[in-house]
Amino acid sequence: MGLGLIHNIPLLFGKKTVDKNIAKIQRKKTALITFQKILKKTFILYIIGIIWLLLLPSSIVHNTSKTQENALLAGQVNTYYSIPEVAAEIDYSEKLKNMTSYQQFIKDEMESFGLLSEIQNFSFNSSMGNMKIKGANVYGLFKSPRSDGSESLVLSAPWTCSKDECRC
């Protein structure tokens, strides 16, 4: 009867048991082959990603794209002035020449955008030299129609100009 021969195994153990074991081994083998293929593709994509990250600061990739430091939406910023923008700049220059107070000018501009704006005057004594420093803050408030009023955004910028132009 030859107990060690492969062709006699179904006769000794039953055909169903052998078929289940073969099917189980084939499923494991198929799963292992599929996993190995996925692992190879994942590893290749991982290496491509690392190479891409290493290439980003190089001149090959970097010179073709330019991102400004202060740009909130990269790729959406124009680096050149258009004719309407130049006309608006000339208009603002004329308004600045005729202004009496830069605080009032900024307040009026904020109100023209629909913001609730106010001027906050302040003064304090300096700890160095006993100087009294006076100034004014201008702020604008925008109430979003869809929020509960607990969120806010503060933009802060100093008023700077050259010594010849400044009439503060």
**Tens of pLDDT along 119-168?**
999 898 888 777 888 888 888 888 777 777 677 677 777 777 666 665 54
Per-residue pLDDT band for 1 (boundaries 50, 70, 90) equals very low
For the residues 113-121, what does the mean pLDDT come to?
Answer: 88
pLDDT at 4: 47
Domain boundaries in the chain?
6-55, 84-141
Angle at 127 between CA 134 and CA 118, to 5 degrees: 25
pLDDT at 64 over 50: yes
CA-closest candidate to residue 106, choices 136, 141, 138: 138
Residue 15 banded pLDDT, cuts 50, 70, 90: low
Residue 99's identity, in one-letter code, is M
In single-letter form, the type of residue at position 164 comes to D
- The per-residue pLDDT for range 42-61, each reduced to its tens digit, is 999 999 999 988 888 777 76
Please give the Cα distance from 63 to 52 (Å, whole number).
15
Tell whether the model's pLDDT for residue 5 goes beyond 60.
Answer: no
